[in-house]
Chain A
Amino acid sequence: NAGVTQTPKFQVLKTGQSMTLQCAQDMNHEYMSWYRQDPGMGLRLIHYSVGAGITDQGEVPNGYNVSRSTTEDFPLRLLSAAPSQTSVYFCASSVTAGEQFFGPGTRLTVL
């Protein structure tokens, strides 16, 4: 099993550009989530999904969209990138409440 994979590993955007961060898992987990990690703030939940076709907002959803068309994939879209979205983004998946498996992260810089 590859576990949770994320692409790209690094990305630089200009303000106003859009892009999609990819996340996939091969463990048949129903629950998937996106977090952003900023210094001194830990990880904050952006969006999550409890199964294909079901998504909901987390703590910091503004500026991000998600969809869940399959169990395996959970892409995160930045519609119009802003410097405040410079961060490290982690995708995670879970089969039980709480215990989540994390991907390696995407480091995003918005200029």
Chain B
Amino acid sequence: AQSVTQLDSQVPVFEEAPVELRCNYSSSVSVYLFWYVQYPNQGLQLLLKYLSGSTLVESINGFEAEFNKSQTSFHLRKPSVHISDTAEYFCAVSENDYKLSFGAGTTVTVRA
């Protein structure tokens, strides 16, 4: 069975500064990897995903994540954050069987 560890529970960051959210997973088979974002009092929205192919994936709002198979990681980065990026971010993994395992989440708070 797969598991996901998000190494930071809280990440405070100033507006226009870079941010990195760390995610490591464990699995004995090949996996699909996801980052979801949850804005206050809302459901989860898919931010980006790795299914196959290029190990660097990007979202439409400037986030990117890189799949590193040797380090079993899928860290999320953004070079310059906005106030509107304040949210909780969840890393998730699937062993291609429709079931998602989530990390505990990282709360990003962007301050002016």
A residues at B contact (CB < 8 Å): 4, 31, 33, 35, 40-45, 48, 50, 58, 90, 92, 94, 97-105
Contacts of A42 in B (CB 8 A): 4, 6, 90, 102-105
Contacts of A58 in B (CB 8 A): 99
Chain A min CB distance to B57 (Å): 12
Q: B98 to A31, Cβ gap below 8 A?
A: yes
B44 interface neighbour in A33, A48, A90, Cβ under 8 Å = A90
Q: A41 to B43, Cβ gap below 8 A?
A: no
- Given A90-B43, A105-B43, the answer on whether A98 and B105 have CB atoms closer than 8 Å is no
For the complex, is B32 an interface residue (Cβ under 8 Å from A)? yes
Would you list 19 pairs from A and B whose C-beta atoms are within 8 A, ordered by A residue? A33-B99, A40-B9, A40-B104, A41-B104, A42-B90, A42-B105, A43-B100, A48-B98, A48-B99, A50-B98, A58-B99, A97-B32, A98-B32, A98-B94, A99-B32, A99-B46, A103-B43, A104-B42, A105-B43
Chain B min CB distance to A45 (Å): 6
Which DSSP category, helix, strand, loop or mixed, fits chain B's interface? strand
Contacts of B49 in A (CB 8 A): 98-99
- Interface residues of B, CB < 8 Å — how many? 26
Chain A min CB distance to B96 (Å): 5
Contacts of A48 in B (CB 8 A): 98-99
Q: Complex Cα distance A92/B92, Å? A: 14
Q: Complex Cα distance A44/B4, Å? A: 12
Contacts of A41 in B (CB 8 A): 104
Q: Complex Cα distance A42/B96, Å? A: 20
Contacts of B101 in A (CB 8 A): 45
Q: Chain A residue with minimal CB distance to B90?
A: A42
- Given A40-B104, A42-B90, A43-B90, the answer on whether A99 and B45 have CB atoms closer than 8 Å is no
